[in-house]
Chains A and B, each alone.
Chain A
Amino acid sequence: MTTLLDVQGLRVSFGPRPAVNGVSFAIASGETVALVGESGSGKTTTGYALMRLLGDNALVQGTAVFEGRDLFTLPEAEMRSLRGRRMSIVFQEPATALNPVMRVGDQIAEVARVHGESVKAAREMAVAMLERTGIADPARRARAYPHELSGGMRQRVMIAMALLLKPALVIADEPTSALDVTVQAQILALLGELKRESNTAILFITHDLGVVAQTCSRAMVMRAGEIVESADVETLFSAPSHEYTRELLAAVPRLSP
């Protein structure tokens, strides 16, 4: 396994107290790694920092070497050429992440357009990708606006955008937290199929330990801006070494047989 992303000493502060306080980890090609924590733990900030989506009020320190280059020192133009093509993000709430006044097909196609595809080719790619996500009658659906689709369908659109150009890394920020469980199961299956096809690695940001146990091979537990434990999921769930991990595991609601 080759290292795809190597993060060292990541620190993000918006004020005197750092939101992310010295986080280091690596992700191999094709791997699915969970970044688990409760609200305010810094997991989403970590994901946004890697995508360089934080505003000017954020002070980002450390290094994040992705395919041989440090994301934090790249000129913005080069970062733009990576986003969507080599690395992409799926947000929790597709209703707010999608542009409400643009047809979903055009939004998907835009990803390919930005990276040099012709209008016609981009449009065809968008429809093919929509079909790939299981949406029936994709040519018609491509002309829909986000509000005309269900939450599950909007998330399929987000995933279609994120995986259109077969990126090496997808940061999935609570991609199924706003969805019904049956839809969640389908979205997780879809993400799984698409990532296998393109050997995409996923950094899965979530608070849901059920989703982690079922989908990820490794997990990192964050609390108050720090990773307190990192292990393969079998070890993490059966023999957690940190007190906080044990607390989290104890609080998870479980179905008893």
Chain B
Amino acid sequence: MTGTALLQVEDLHVRYATRVVHGVSFDIPRGETLALVGESGSGKTTTARAALRLVEPEVGSVRFDGIDVRALGRETMRAMRRRMQIVFQDPFTSLDPRITVGETVAEGVLAHRLAGPLEAKKRALAVLAEVGLSSDEFTRLPHELSGGQRQRVAIARALAVDPELLVLDEAVSALDATIQSRVLDLFERLRDERRLTTLFIAHNLAVVQRVASVVVVMFAGRVVEHSAANAFFAGPLHPYSRALLDAVPAPDPARRRALPVIGDELLGPSAVGCVYFNRCGHPRKDAECEAEQPRLSAFADGRAAACFKAGGASPVLRPPVRPLDR
């Protein structure tokens, strides 16, 4: 797998005031989609930014197409950026309010000298059409668009420079379901046609299930589970993964069940022992968990988890409570 990996992240640590990413490693083979999931503050966005060198890692290596990106000089890094694009969650803050949609999308094409002005405009129109925006939008300013339209402009801007790696940081989360579904169709097509590789950060596990081949779950800056998507959705190993899955409200009143109140967010990560100890609803959690942070260990079916109690069946967590109207 190492031979074909487009992005290889190894033992990544990132520190701001405190360390927020602790020894994260993963590979994404070309043409694959790896999903990074976990709650806000779990370190997934920082991991992605460090992988693109938008923040400098404290420790660790990042290889893109075999090249150590941390060793690159300014100019080579700049050229490399064309090949690795990122789309952020909030398009209002990531789009320049003073330039038109068309210019925004063509800008990267011109900056990386991929085409002359005429050709860049043509490309911009084509990629805007791909994300479902018409030529009417071409001369609009960001504030004249709806949130969904702005997000599609940000996606079009990233796609216009024909990247090999696309990092989507909650990029489809705020879109209405009908538009989200169309944008996901587009990604699936690009993945198949151009072997586009994607690091997909999302909190909606139903969306993750649709697009990802591998799921990496982060909690408090650490990877707590790293599993093939099929095995993960069939039965995750880590109690936090289980909690994330159980908390997804099913769009089906016939499968109405109490959403689990587990992993109370008011209890922070534990300072000693397993980071998840305070919030863990695993029926077999014990003194071992309280004393030591478990390492990420491999299990069957391409799964790995950092939990002393992992293995066997997926954990059943503490009993849930009644939903609103029952």
The answer on A and B forming one complex is yes
Residues on B with beta carbons closer than 8 Å to the beta carbon of A193: 321
Contact in complex: B206, A189 (CB < 8 Å): no
Residues on B with beta carbons closer than 8 Å to the beta carbon of A181: 203-205, 244, 247-248
Residues on A with beta carbons closer than 8 Å to the beta carbon of B205: 181, 255
Q: Is A159 on the interface with B (CB-CB < 8 A)?
A: no
Q: Say whether, besides A183-B39, A189-B323, A234-B253, A210 and B265 are in contact (CB < 8 Å).
A: no
Contact in complex: A189, B209 (CB < 8 Å): no
Contact in complex: B321, A213 (CB < 8 Å): no
Q: Is A248 on the interface with B (CB-CB < 8 A)?
A: yes
Q: Is B132 on the interface with A (CB-CB < 8 A)?
A: no
Contact in complex: A32, B324 (CB < 8 Å): yes
Q: Say whether, besides A39-B146, A215-B325, A252-B251, A207 and B176 are in contact (CB < 8 Å).
A: yes
Contact in complex: A39, B147 (CB < 8 Å): yes
The CA-CA distance from A247 to B176 in the complex, in Å, is 12
Q: Mark A220-257, 1 if CB is under 8 A from B, else 0.
A: 00000000000001100110000000011101111110
Shortest Cβ distance from A237 into B: residue:
B253
Taking residues whose C-beta sits less than 8 angstroms from the other chain, chain B's interface range is 35 or more
Q: Is A62 on the interface with B (CB-CB < 8 A)?
A: no
Taking residues whose C-beta sits less than 8 angstroms from the other chain, chain A's interface range is 35 or more
Cβ of A155 to closest chain B Cβ, rounded Å: 11
Contact in complex: B323, A184 (CB < 8 Å): no
Contact in complex: B261, A186 (CB < 8 Å): yes
Q: Is A185 on the interface with B (CB-CB < 8 A)?
A: yes
Q: Mark B152-179, 1 if CB is under 8 A from A, else 0.
A: 0000000000000000000000001110
The CA-CA distance from A249 to B181 in the complex, in Å, is 12
8 Å CB contact of B266 from A153, A212, A255: A153
The CA-CA distance from A182 to B247 in the complex, in Å, is 5
Contact in complex: B266, A134 (CB < 8 Å): yes
Shortest Cβ distance from A141 into B: residue:
B266
Q: Is A150 on the interface with B (CB-CB < 8 A)?
A: yes
Residues on B with beta carbons closer than 8 Å to the beta carbon of A152: 265-266
The CA-CA distance from A183 to B265 in the complex, in Å, is 6
Contact in complex: B253, A185 (CB < 8 Å): no
Contact in complex: A214, B259 (CB < 8 Å): yes
The CA-CA distance from A215 to B256 in the complex, in Å, is 8
Residues on A with beta carbons closer than 8 Å to the beta carbon of B243: 182
Contact in complex: A210, B250 (CB < 8 Å): yes
Q: Mark A182-220, 1 if CB is under 8 A from B, else 0.
A: 111110110111010000001010011111111111000
Q: Is B139 on the interface with A (CB-CB < 8 A)?
A: no
The CA-CA distance from A188 to B257 in the complex, in Å, is 13
Residues on B with beta carbons closer than 8 Å to the beta carbon of A31: 325
The CA-CA distance from A186 to B260 in the complex, in Å, is 8
Contact in complex: A238, B254 (CB < 8 Å): yes
The CA-CA distance from A207 to B173 in the complex, in Å, is 12
The CA-CA distance from A202 to B323 in the complex, in Å, is 13
- Extra inter-chain contacts (16) besides given A207-B177, A214-B323, A253-B181, CB under 8 Å: A39-B147, A134-B264, A208-B249, A210-B250, A211-B249, A214-B256, A215-B249, A215-B325, A217-B325, A237-B251, A247-B178, A251-B177, A253-B180, A253-B204, A254-B252, A256-B233
Residues of B within 8 A of A (CB): 39-41, 146-148, 176-178, 180-181, 203-207, 209-210, 233, 243-245, 247-266, 321-325
Residues of A within 8 A of B (CB): 31-32, 38-40, 134-136, 150-153, 180-186, 188-189, 191-193, 195, 202, 204, 207-217, 233-234, 237-238, 247-249, 251-256
CB pairs A–B below 8 angstroms (24 shown) = A38-B177, A38-B178, A134-B264, A151-B40, A180-B39, A180-B40, A181-B247, A182-B247, A182-B263, A184-B247, A185-B259, A185-B261, A186-B261, A188-B323, A189-B322, A189-B323, A202-B324, A214-B250, A214-B257, A216-B325, A237-B254, A251-B177, A253-B181, A253-B204
Closest 8 CB pairs of A and B: A210-B249, A253-B206, A185-B259, A215-B324, A192-B324, A38-B176, A251-B177, A180-B39
